[in-house]
Amino acid sequence: MPDTASQTSNRPPLPPEIGRRRTFAIISHPDAGKTTLTEKFLLYGGAIQMAGQVRAKGEARRTRSDFMKMEQDRGISVSASAMSFDYAGHRFNLVDTPGHSDFSEDTYRTLTAVDAAIMVIDGAKGVESQTRKLFEVCRLRDLPILTFCNKMDREARDTFEIIDEIQDSLAIDVTPASWPIGMGADFLGCYDLLHDRLELMDRADRNRLAQSVRLDGLDDPRMAEHIPASLLGQLRDEVQMARELLPAFDRQSFLEGHLTPIWFGSAINSFGVRELMEGIAEFGPPPQPQRANREVAPEETPVAGFVFKVQANMDPKHRDRVAFVRLASGHFQRGQKMLHVRSGKQMTVSAPVLFLAADREVTEEAWAGDIIGIPNHGQLRIGDALTEGEALKFTGIPSFAPELLRAARAGDPLKAKHLDKALMQFAEEGAARVFKPMVGSGFVVGVVGALQFDVLASRIELEYGLPVRFEPSQFTSARWVSGDKAAVEGFVNANKGHIATDHDGDLVYLTRLQWDIDRVGRDHPGVVLTATKEMHA
């Protein structure tokens, strides 16, 4: 499809199949409406027949593969997945960000796999804490952001106030793509500032998309046929003021992450959803070059991709894992042989999976920008590169030093060996850090947020039938150890009680005092302690 939006100004034209792809995530504070919006995307993307089915299907799968019990109990989304659907000639790849309020590394890594993000905010609540955190991660990568202000069918804040809050608290310019007409019970729809048309909400049928009325600008007399005089006057005044006070849409500025267009709507009423999808389709971005030891451009012929997430036990009947791979370049075909750069081994990808709504299906092909799942028995780890031969190292997929450490104890001492295995698996999946101390038995487990211990305990019990306790550890901090070989050896020998290895076999220094960490710098000049480890092949 000829597609001007697929070309960003300084990039060569993309092959049409790649240019039509849009790979994005939705970021939001819990309850803002991410699930509802996702559901509507899939509904209008033709991936499902009826709204409500994502949830229904999701629940069916959950009962099958019970590991989401935590999620049901707490109303949080612990697992992430990727979903693909088509709309208006575009292929959308929506990568789900784990939504619980405890932040995990997963969240950061998910955002390394997308080219753009939709920020959903609740019109009554504005920018909330989790929105802000996720936004900051997007900013680190200069991701373009589209904003959806949801729940306009309820009492919401004043439109200017919402926009000001986003500009002030997130330090990003905001341009209205649409302007709400009325609010709460009086909410009628929006005026589309980018296309000069009226979008009217259908209150009678929640699953019907808005009715569009093409107009010749705000002064078109047909406006009065649809909008009562009082609201029409207000709309004209507000839009005029917005056009004077707020920046106009500028595609380049949007693509660079400096300007976010905002749409107002109501996901539950299917209102604003199509406009948002059209916004992504029209303005992009298409698949972007990915950072590696060199920049990997989507239009390059050789296929290359990287693992940004590993999920185990999606189907407990088969103890399989699925590695989620973001294709960075090329046209991948089922059965293709790929070099697994870390091990140096060839692997034949015979059953690549695309995630269509809640189902997974084997796919015959995929293009740069797509997310495919590769079932495997543990060979594929986060950060791994798959290529047609080049020893690429993708960068920017960080592993963070955990902020909370606890000792793992098997509820049943006879099953301690099984616990080792379960913990290693979660470490490979990236769900936790697992450290094996050089001295003594047992493991120290580290996470970024406290809730992750509950999630882990629940999954270990459900998937392995092992009761596990996480007890206070004598250590509170972990740092990766690197540096001059002799210096590292000397350091390790002098601190055996503090040294452990992570699941990759890399050395880690465990301590309870910041003072200890500072002292290492003085006593062992050749040793470097770091709080992050870049994960790559």
Shorter beta-carbon distance to ligand GDP: residue 39 or 428: 39
- Displacement of CA 330 from its chain's centroid (Å): 22
Shorter beta-carbon distance to ligand GDP: residue 29 or 340: 29
| Contact pick of 20, 21, 34, 340 for ligand GDP (by CB under 6 A) | 34
Q: Collapsing DSSP states into helix, strand and coil, what is residue 6?
A: helix
Shorter beta-carbon distance to ligand GDP: residue 27 or 527: 27
Who contacts 344 (Cβ-Cβ below 8 Å, separation ≥6)?
Answer: none
CA dist list (Å): 73 to 66, 68, 316, 458: 12, 9, 20, 11
Shorter beta-carbon distance to ligand GDP: residue 153 or 429: 153
Shorter beta-carbon distance to ligand GDP: residue 162 or 303: 162
HEC string of 101-124 equals CCCCHHHHHHCCCCCEEEEEEECC
Residue 31 touches ligand GDP, criterion: CB under 6 A: yes
* Rounded Cα–Cα distance for residues 79 and 426 (Å): 13
In whole angstroms, how close is the CB of 163 to ligand GDP at the nearest point?
Answer: 19
* Rounded Cα–Cα distance for residues 354 and 192 (Å): 34
Shorter beta-carbon distance to ligand GDP: residue 96 or 105: 96
* Rounded Cα–Cα distance for residues 387 and 278 (Å): 33
How many chain residues bind ligand GDP (CB under 6 A)?
16
Number of alpha helices (DSSP H) and beta strands (DSSP E) in the chain: 15, 31
* Rounded Cα–Cα distance for residues 61 and 75 (Å): 16
In whole angstroms, how close is the CB of 35 to ligand GDP at the nearest point?
Answer: 3
| Contact pick of 6, 35, 290, 473 for ligand GDP (by CB under 6 A) | 35
What tokens were used for 535?
Answer: 């994960």
Beta pairing class for 90-95 and 21-28: parallel
∠ CA 5-7-12, rounded to 5°: 170
Who contacts 17 (Cβ-Cβ below 8 Å, separation ≥6)?
Answer: 331, 367
Shorter beta-carbon distance to ligand GDP: residue 184 or 440: 184
In whole angstroms, how close is the CB of 97 to ligand GDP at the nearest point?
Answer: 11
* Rounded Cα–Cα distance for residues 503 and 533 (Å): 13
What tokens were used for 381?
Answer: 């780890």
In whole angstroms, how close is the CB of 121 to ligand GDP at the nearest point?
Answer: 10
Q: Which stretch binds ligand GDP (CB under 6 A): 33-41, 332-340, 352-360, 384-392?
A: 33-41
Residue 358 near residue 61, CB atoms below 8 Å: yes
Residue 442 touches ligand GDP, criterion: CB under 6 A: no
Shorter beta-carbon distance to ligand GDP: residue 31 or 388: 31
In whole angstroms, how close is the CB of 133 to ligand GDP at the nearest point?
Answer: 15
In whole angstroms, how close is the CB of 161 to ligand GDP at the nearest point?
Answer: 19
Q: List, in sequence order, the alpha helices (H) in 97-228.
A: 105-110, 129-140, 159-170, 223-226
In whole angstroms, how close is the CB of 279 to ligand GDP at the nearest point?
Answer: 17
Residue window 250-269: x/- pattern of binding to ligand GDP, with contact defined by CB under 6 A: ----------------xxxx
Residue 329 touches ligand GDP, criterion: CB under 6 A: no
In whole angstroms, how close is the CB of 151 to ligand GDP at the nearest point?
Answer: 4
> In the window 123-182, what residues touch ligand GDP (CB under 6 A)?
150-151, 153-154
| Contact pick of 19, 24, 25, 36 for ligand GDP (by CB under 6 A) | 36
Q: What is the DSSP letter of 46?
A: T
Interface positions with ligand GDP (CB under 6 A): 28, 30-36, 150-151, 153-154, 266-269
